[in-house]
Structure 1
């Protein structure tokens, strides 16, 4: 039985399900979810570390700087959530080991938060020089000082959707049409205005995973710093941004659950408000281009071009995609959540 068949059976039995539940099943079902069975990096979607090595290398320099800002503890957990094929961390540690020296190399304990057994195999092989350990969730990472990095993780946290109909807010659901096919609809029950809704809002998304993520970060002993890079508006609440991708093309989110990547825009404004309200220090959100330039993107790009003159155009063009406001430089944002008492993080 396919995941789509299972979801249809679930709806036939218990009625329509919230969009957030559909996303959770389609992406994270342990047996047939997208991330468990079809990691689509480079086919369904491509991330910044796959575009240019400059991205991961600058993150590595950022980690070294923040480790020193923490007082250079002699042991800390370097954590990545959603490491993909290990590209970001391989690039990051290659430069971090040079910049931080033996002291940093001895202190950093690499932990990858990755539930997919198939991806763990890829990551273990690619990062074998750094002896990574693995955790299913952030909550399972051992206690101790921590620097966390997560690129394009927040966008796959399930979102509840709400839409205004006849002046009343109702939750968006996934049900069945007259032919028994998956279809979007609205729940019968009225809802109070969702968080972030303005008078002019017609649709609002609320990512329910933010609360749990911040709670997990709050349980970490200080010092702690967590860097998230993703796409979405800096201070506006997304409406209906649910999208699906297959082989680089946008498709219907309901067409092939478990076989296509689902994503939503990140509500950075809400994440910032929640984190500050719950007692974390917040830096950003800052456009990715500005963040990377603040870390020395231009200087690193010049070094790479000088060392590889035969590939100068490709190196420049790929790095430019990360920085250019017309490409990834503006749409993507960086935000840093920290335990209190630390200096402001570099790049913000």
Structure 2
């Protein structure tokens, strides 16, 4: 039985399910979820580290800088949440081990927060020399000074959707149409507007996973542990996302209900809400700032010049790939970088 058939049976038995539940099952179901069985990095979508090695290398230098800024502790956890195929971390550590030398290498304990068995296999093969350890969630990482990287992780956190219906708000759900096919609809019961909803909004999305991540960071910070979490993703900074749920398969946008478990689902990140809940939890918030400006601040142009000079035969391809990361018309403006930190730490590089 396919995941789509299982979802139809679930809805027939218990009624429509929230959009967030649909996203969770479509992406993370252990038997048939997208990330558990057929992660399509490089096919359904392309991430920044897959575009150019400059991205991961600069983040490696950032990690070393922040490790030194917190006093170069003799033991610390470097964590990546949602490491994909391990390309970002491979590029980052190649550069970090050069910049930080033996003290950095001896101090680092690498943790990958990755529930997908399929992706863990890929990550182990690529990063075996760094002896990665795996965790299902960030709370399982040991209580040590912690530096976290997460690129295009937040957009995969399931989102509840609410749509205005007269004076009420109704939660968006996935049910069945007259022919028994999956279809979007509205819950029967109305409710008050979700927290922070603009009066002019007709549809809003709320990712509860943002609250869970912030709570974990705040707990570590409250225990006196230095923490930096560098989060890179797409979404607006001046408003809450509306209906931003979309799906991709083989590089093309398709209906989110077309083939659950076989397509990548994503939503825009509400950076404004993330800032508010992080600040309320007692964390320092840096950014969000456009990805292009952040990478240029870390020395993207200088590193690009080095690569072009060392690889003259591939200079054009190297330049074009790196340019995608920083060009405001491409990924440079659409993607944002935010850093959530424990208090009283030096301002992180790039901000």
Q: Deviations over 1:137-170 (max 9, x none)?
A: 1111111111000000000000000111223211
Q: Is 1:140 the counterpart of 2:158 in the alignment?
A: no
Among 335, 338, 341, which residue is 2:341 paired with?
A: 338
Show structure 2 runs of 5+ residues with no match: none
Matched residue, 1:14: 14
Show structure 1 runs of 5+ residues with no match: none
- Deviation of the 1:219 alpha carbon: 2.1
Among 223, 226, 229, which residue is 2:226 paired with?
A: 223
Q: Is 1:283 the counterpart of 2:296 in the alignment?
A: no
Matched residue, 1:209: 209
- Deviation of the 1:2 alpha carbon: 1.0
SS at 1:219's partner residue?
Answer: helix
Tell me if structure 2 keeps the 8 A contact 1:196–1:204: no
Q: Is 1:101 the counterpart of 2:101 in the alignment?
A: yes
Matches within 5 A, 1:21-60: 21-60=21-60
Matched residue, 2:350: 347
- Relative to the length of structure 1, the TM-score reads 0.99
Matches within 5 A, 1:290-305: 290-305=293-308
- Deviation of the 1:40 alpha carbon: 0.5
Q: d(CA) in 2 for partners of 1:235 and 1:208?
A: 20
- Relative to the length of structure 2, the TM-score reads 0.98
Question: Runs of at least 4 residues of structure 1 off by over 3 A?
Answer: none
Q: d(CA) in 2 for partners of 1:18 and 1:128?
A: 39
- Deviation of the 1:178 alpha carbon: 0.4
Q: Deviations over 1:223-247 (max 9, x none)?
A: 1110000011113100000000000
SS at 2:143's partner residue?
Answer: coil
Matched residue, 1:78: 78
SS at 2:275's partner residue?
Answer: helix
Q: Deviations over 1:285-340 (max 9, x none)?
A: 00000010110000100111111111111111000000000000000000001111
Q: d(CA) in 2 for partners of 1:255 and 1:302?
A: 44
- Deviation of the 1:10 alpha carbon: 1.0
Q: Is 1:235 the counterpart of 2:238 in the alignment?
A: yes
Matches within 5 A, 1:180-329: 180-220=180-220, 221=223, 222-329=225-332
